[in-house]
Amino acid sequence: MYNSISMYTLKIIKRIAVVALFFTVSSGAVMAKDYQVLAFGDSLTAGYGLAKEDGFTAQLQKYLRDQGHQVTIINAGVSGNTTSGGLARLEWSLAGTQGGKPDLVLLALGGNDALRGIDPAISRANMDKMLTILQKANIDTLILGMMAPPNMGEDYENKFNTIFPDLAEKYKVDLYPFFLDGVAGDLSLNQGDAMHPNAQGVQAVVRRIAPIIIDKLLTP
């Protein structure tokens, strides 16, 4: 009789443990959604000249996770990429994400177009097409805008700099006007080329952009 009671009790305990585990895993899955953010850009996104942990995507992911947000930042930055290069690879970059649909895309292209003096009309058309693709896929987007260097001349500057606010308005997406705001021109925050931020510069960029992502993606 002692043995039969012990076996019965053991079975009950096992059943309780299984049920408890089920509810723990289930509620954990609900509470700990892993948000996917695709950072789609050029060398600024890729982390040119920096150790992996010092790059934009790594620092952004760490910042968000340190704030208690379960977010994975996918680095889809390609050094030297123009808007034409970005357009050519956008769809297969999206296909490489979980389910082919990230929770948010950071669209950060255009800097190399300006540096190469590419016709702003071409850059605008490429950005327009990328935003059309993202809109049709119902993917939330945050544009990280760029500004033309002053040496390109006032006419070029005006045509280029209006691309990002114009398209943000057209597609009703959020815009961070200038990726390098607060960093560009500050030699202490840039690498030797005075164009790419150093680790401290990236940290400054992340501290400005991360709150927008938290508000847009992670705030109920």
Residues 6+ away with beta carbon under 8 Å from 107: 40, 41, 127, 130, 131, 134, 141, 142, 143, 144
Q: How far is CA 199 from the centre of its chain?
A: 18
Question: What single-letter DSSP state applies at residue 180?
Answer: T
Q: Are 108 and 39 in contact (CB under 8 A)?
A: yes
Q: Could you give the residue numbers annotated as active site?
A: 43, 193, 196
| Main-chain phi, psi angles of 51, to 5 degrees | -65, 150
Would you state the structure tokens that stand for residue 145, as one six-digit string? Answer: 């805008």
